[in-house]
Structure formats: structure tokens, C-alpha cells
Structure 1
Amino acid sequence: MTQLKTIQIATFGADDAEGIASGIRNFPVHKLALICYAADKQKADEFARKISTAIGIRAAVNVVNRENVIRDTMERVSEILNREGRDYEQVLMNVSSGDKLMGCAALSSAFVNGIKTFGMDEAGMPMLLPVLKLSYSEIISEAKLKILKCINDQGGSVESFEHLEQVSGYGKPLLSYHVMGSKEAKGLVELGLLEVEKGERGRIASKLTTLGKLLVISNSALTSTTTGT
């Protein structure tokens, strides 16, 4: 059976790199992309060199800031996918190392991008985590994504469909279809990307959920990397 050419993305913690080593032992890997905090970069570089020397695979280090770990991790993962996606047939995410916040950020990135993800159980054995087979970017249409971006540009919420109509350029019937959905298709609310609340005079306020914000961040990072901006 032919082994898929695979890149593993792994969160890195200076004191618990064994999970990364276990991931390398138990899953295919042809390149390793580490994600770490700036304070751990030196140790991450040392670990990358050891891995490269020991098993002959390339290893790269990607730095995120602790203060913006969610946004930065989403951006680094998008950059890795855009940079390496054409060269590797499979992408795996290892969240067994690093602190909890970085692990959550990486898992969110995997969820948005449809990346197979694993951690380690109490016995130190790999454990696959439930992640969508398709990325959200493959499920969400360009129109829905544009609506999310418009709301994000307004600070993450709009007070009415009238306001959303102005900033998005879509009419109310189309907005209602994309936001509330129909019998044939799920809307942004059912997809968990948007929350709506009925206010005075029948106004319907719309607010991005955390997942909605992450999707916008991830898409913006991927677009910026693609265009070189």
C-alpha cells in the first residue's frame, strides 16, 4: 500500500515534546511543521535539527505570539497549507504538545480547514480527534463568506438586516436565505457561524460566533498569503 506524502503540523512545548516524537513514530511524516511561542523558538529549532538528523525529514519552526495565539495560530496554519499544500497529499495535526490555549487554537484551525487531528491519551498512545472531513471553506459559499466578512468589518455585529443590506450589497431576501437558511440549505445560523436576535420594531441583529470569527481570520490569512500582501 502506497504511503501518502504527509506533512505533520505539531504544536510545540519545550518540556513535553514526547507527544511530537510519538506522532512521528505512529503516523506517516515527510515534513514536520512546528508551531511554538517566541520564548520556545530556540528549543524548537534544536528539536527540529535533531529530528532532521535522526530520521532525515525536513522540519520548520513557525512562531506565534502568546498574546494573539488564536489569531496567529490560524494564520500560521493557513500559511503552511498554502505554502506546502501542493507538495503533500495529506496533512495531519498533532496537538499533544504545547499549552492548552495553543492546542485549542490548533484544533480550531484543524476544524476550520478540515485537517485530520490527533493527540495522546493517558498511556501516551495516539488518539484521533473528531474533525470535519471537509473544511468550512469548502462548505461555505463565497456569498456567505462575504456576509461574515462584512459583519466582521463592522466590529463583529450589525443591529439589523437593513444595516447588513447596506454593507454587504445583498437584498433582504438573499440575506435571509444565507443567514437563516432554507429547507434545502443550511444558513449561517444553523452552521454555527452567526447568532441572530430579534429586537425592537422587528429588527434582527446579527453577531459572529467564535467559530465565525475564526473562519474569517483563517480565510483572511490564506488570502493574504496567496496575494503576498
Structure 2
Amino acid sequence: MAQMTTLQIATFGGEGQEGIAAGIRNFPVHELALICYSSDKQKADEFARKLRNVLGLPITISLISKENVIRDTMERVSEILGMHRDFQQVLMNVSCGDKMIGCAALSSAFINGIKSFGMDSTGTPLLMPVLKLSYSEIISDAKIRILKTINDIGGAIESLEQLEQASGYGKPLLSYHVMGSRESKGLADLGLLEVEKGDRGKISAKLTTLGKMLVTSSAISTAQAP
């Protein structure tokens, strides 16, 4: 029976690197992908060199900026997944690095349906809850297209009429997808759009951070598809 191949993605910081080593000891790994701030690149290179020398483990390093940590982490994770489609299992280790990169990595794992773990105070692995389906699988194609349309016109709309002209969807259908119904949650309920109601029922909306991340993830996945 063929062995399941596993890619581990790990956040990296100047301190707490023992969490990455613990992840390697406690979980299967055939390749390691590190995500770190550009300012930590030298330390990441040194850490990767030591692991390669000791374990012979293939390691890649992806850089992000502190100014755009959420967006950059989302993009790097999507790129890593696109380049490693042959792996049967992907794990996310968020035990190293600061809180912002850890939160960004967890959000990326949530959107992409990746199992994540950290380490408790004793160095014992702590598995994070994960949905059986990724966030992008829960959202319908129509809702993703609406999000992309809003993103393409600047990330916000002044009215549903503006969105109607840009998307090609009729206003009743847009209202259903944006505001939802008793049977189905809309983009606002899902935390992907921030909606404001004005005079005479006028609806304006803008993408939330999570909405922007979902659009970015979907765009990169589409571009990398064979």
C-alpha cells in the first residue's frame, strides 16, 4: 500500500522555532514550506539549512510583508497549494511566529480546508477544529462571482443597481445572495460583505477582510488550474 505523502506548511518567526521541530517529530512530513516575514528571511534560511543537513528534508521559504500580512499569507498559501498538488495531505503548523501571522495562517487554512495544529505550553501538539468542507466549497459559484465583481470595481458598491450593471445579475437575485433569506445565509451573514442600509432601502456594501481573502484564494486557484 502506497504511503500517504504529506506537506507541512509552517509559520516561522525569530523565536519559538522548536514548535516547527515538534511538528516534524509528531506528524508525517515529506516536504516543509515555511512562511515568514521578509525581515526574518536570514533566520529562516539558517533554520532551513540545519533541517536539510540533519533530515534531508526538502524545504521552501515564502516571504510576506508585515504591512499586508493577511493578504500576503493568503496568497502564499494558495501558491504553495498550487505548486504541491501531488501531496495527498496538507497540514498547517501555526506554533511559530507572531499572532498576526498565526491568525492569517489559520484563516488561510480555514478557507482552504487544511488541518491545522499548534503547540501547548508543554510542547504537545494541539489540533485545531476544522470544517469538513473548506469555506470556498460552502460558498456557491454565484456568490463568489458577485464577490469578484465587487472586488473588480474597487471593493465596494454604492447600490444594488450599480452591482446589477457590473455583474449582469438581476436585482432580486443580487438581493437574495447579498442579504440572504430564511433558508439561506447571504454574503452579509457569512461575514464576506459589510452592508449598510440607507434611505428608501438603498443597500451599499463593501468586502470584508475575509471576503477579500476568499476572492484572492479563488482567483489564484483558477489561475493555477491545469
Q: TM-score, normalised by structure 2?
A: 0.92
Residue 142 of structure 1 and its aligned partner are, at CA, apart by 2.0
| Alignment match, 1:84 | 84
Contact 1:165–1:172 under 8 Å retained in 2: yes
- Report what 2:158 is aligned to: 159
Alignment of 1:171-190 (within 5 A): 171-190=170-189
Q: CA RMSD in A?
A: 1.9
Alignment of 1:88-167 (within 5 A): 88-167=87-166
SS at match of 1:4: coil
Residue 175 of structure 2 aligns to a residue in which SS?
Answer: helix
1:86-124: per-residue Cα shift (whole Å, max 9, x none)?
A: x11111000110111111111111111111111111222
Please give the per-residue CA displacement for 1:165-188, whole angstroms capped at 9, x wherever unaligned. Answer: 111110012212322334543322
Q: Does 1:16 align with 2:16?
A: yes
Map of 1:54 onto structure 2: 54
For the 8 Å contact 1:3–1:28, the answer to whether it is kept is no
Q: CA deviation at 1:67?
A: 1.8
Q: 1: CA distance between counterparts of 2:154 and 2:121?
A: 41
The alpha carbon displacement at 1:2 in A equals: 6.9
Give the match's secondary structure for 1:148: helix
| 1:218 maps to amino acid | S
Cα distance in structure 1, aligned partners of 2:119 and 2:3: 22
Report the more deviating stretch, 180-189 or 67-76: 180-189
What amino acid is the match of 2:161? E
Unpaired segments ≥5 residues, structure 2: none
8 Å CA contact 1:75–1:222 kept in 2: the answer is no
Alpha-carbon deviation of 1:133? Answer: 2.4
Shift of 1:205: 1.6
- Match of residue 39 from structure 1: 39
- Displaced runs of 4+ in structure 1, greater than 6 A? none
Identity of aligned residues (%): 69
In the alignment, the residues of structure 1 paired with residue 207 and residue 129 of structure 2 have an alpha-carbon distance, to the nearest angstrom, of 23
Which whole-Å deviations, capped at 9, do the CAs of 1:137-162 have from their partners, x for residues lacking one? 21222211111111122332212111
Give the corresponding residue for 2:5. Answer: 5
> How many residue pairs get matched?
226
Shift of 1:163: 1.2
Question: 1 CA distance for matches of 2:175 and 2:28?
Answer: 45
Instruction: Give 3-state SS (helix, strand or coil) of 1:67's partner.
Output: coil
**Structure 1 Cα separation of the partners of residues 223 and 134 of structure 2:** 19
Rounded to whole Å, the distance in 1 between the matches of 2:119 and 2:179 is 39
What CA distance in whole angstroms lies between the structure 2 residues aligned with 1:198 and 1:14? 46
Question: SS of the residue aligned with 1:66?
Answer: coil
TM-score for the superposition, normalised by structure 1: 0.91
Whole-angstrom CA distance in 2 between matches of 1:167 and 1:157: 12
Pair 1:194-2:193 in alignment: yes
